[in-house]
Amino acid sequence: MATVAGHMLMMGSLAPILSLYGKSFGVSDWAIGVVVTIFGVGRLAVDIPAGLLAEKLGRKTLLWIGPAIACVASVGAALTDDYAVLVVFRFFQGVGSGIYMTVATIVSADLATPTTRGRVMALYQAALLTGAGLGPAVGGFVAEHFGLRAPFWMAAAIGLFAAIYARFAFSETRSSAHGGHKDGHGLSALFLVVAVAPLAVLMFVQFGAFFTRSASQWTITPLLGHTRFGFEAGALGLALTLAALSNLAVLPWAGSASDRFGCVPVISVSTLLVGGSLFLIAVSWAPWMFWAGMVLMGIATGFSGPAIAAYAAEHAPGGRYGPTMGILRFAGDLGFVVGPVLLGLSVDFLGVGYAGALVINGALVVLSALLFVVVGWSAQDARARSKSQSSQPKGD
């Protein structure tokens, strides 16, 4: 969890300076956006391969390869004076990050037990949020005192430490994976995962969750707050921080709720509440409604995140955590990348406005929740009946 927090601090430290750093190369605004977006593309490209390789090569190997790639890419981005080269190195930063974060999720699933999955995944999300929350502040401070290239050097140092630590201090967890298999690492393993109906719908839920984070929470909501209520950067930053703090605050209860009541009800209710928060912000006619919607979004995503990861681990076919977590992260990163573009297009070409874009996002999330309610509860009932029948004494 400490290295997960460090990795997210590493990537988050670049957030305040990426646009300014890209602008220093004398390129247009859309090209500056590419510097930001290409990181997500690199991460998206390796989510599934990393999950498959984690089953074939083991977790430990990839746990140091990922940060090592990110380290080298950070050094290259700090040294280059060519925009195209910067884009290439940003892509490989995403590759290294995608490998590490996918495998870190798999290791968390390896180390958890059926009765602690929710709490372990809550710890994982807490580590992620802590690093992501501290990163921008640290990166901004470093850039202000040492220049725009300094955060890349700091990211390289963190990546190097993480790679060395993982190489020499971590133990391989694949052998202790619950029901782990050494066969079926390729396409057959992927087909096994997507053939499980609840997991297939869960990918849609995860897509909607990450779509909401990048498109509504980080892009559309600030624009709506500014145009409707006149919020400036300080107030908008406070709103986003409030959502993040609400998310972090409920994580202890979120993990326990999943372990105690099961993942299906937690995912179902929390995802519906995410959609409700978007509707509340969209129709808000007073600032307090806007703030309430942000808090509700943070609370709801705080409960849904650990439950989604725990449910995926619980239903990984044959204990194949690698491909299952790889596809789960791929679905999330896909939503993260396409979300801002799709909602932006809906505002520009459909004329729905910022509130309409939030309603579209909310409808997507609610649809995913309703599908999961139907499929998830049906699968849970089927498993309960199967266990009940297997526990009954057989006749002579």
The mean pLDDT values, 10 residues at a time, for the chain of 396 residues are 86 77 79 79 87 83 92 94 92 93 86 81 83 79 87 92 87 58 53 68 92 85 89 79 85 83 90 96 94 93 89 78 82 87 85 92 95 79 52 51
Sorted by sequence, the CB contacts under 8 Å of residue 251 that are 6+ apart come out as 122, 123, 125, 126, 129, 302, 306
Identical fold between 1-178 and 183-388: yes
What span, in angstroms and rounded, lies between the C-alpha atoms of 64 and 325?
A: 18
Q: Say what the pTM is.
A: 0.79
1-178: which CATH number, 1.20.58.340, 1.10.10.10, 1.20.1440.230, 1.20.1250.20?
Answer: 1.20.1250.20
pLDDT at residue 383 in the model: 55
Sorted by sequence, the CB contacts under 8 Å of residue 28 that are 6+ apart come out as none
What span, in angstroms and rounded, lies between the C-alpha atoms of 308 and 314?
A: 10
* DSSP state string for 296-365: HHHHHHHHHHHHHHHHHHHT-GGG-HHHHHHHHHHHHHHHHHHHHHHHHHHHHHS--HHHHHHHHHHHHH
Q: Are 336 and 211 in contact (CB under 8 A)?
A: yes
pLDDT at residue 179 in the model: 42
Written as one letter, the residue type at 243 is A
Q: Where are the domains of the chain?
A: 1-178, 183-388
The angle formed by the CA atoms of residues 40, 368 and 246, to the nearest 5 degrees, is 65
Q: Are 271 and 262 in contact (CB under 8 A)?
A: no
pLDDT at residue 190 in the model: 59
pLDDT at residue 396 in the model: 46
- We find that the CATH architecture of domain 183-388 is Up-down Bundle (1.20)
Nearest CA to 31 out of 13, 19, 43 is that of 19
pLDDT at residue 392 in the model: 54
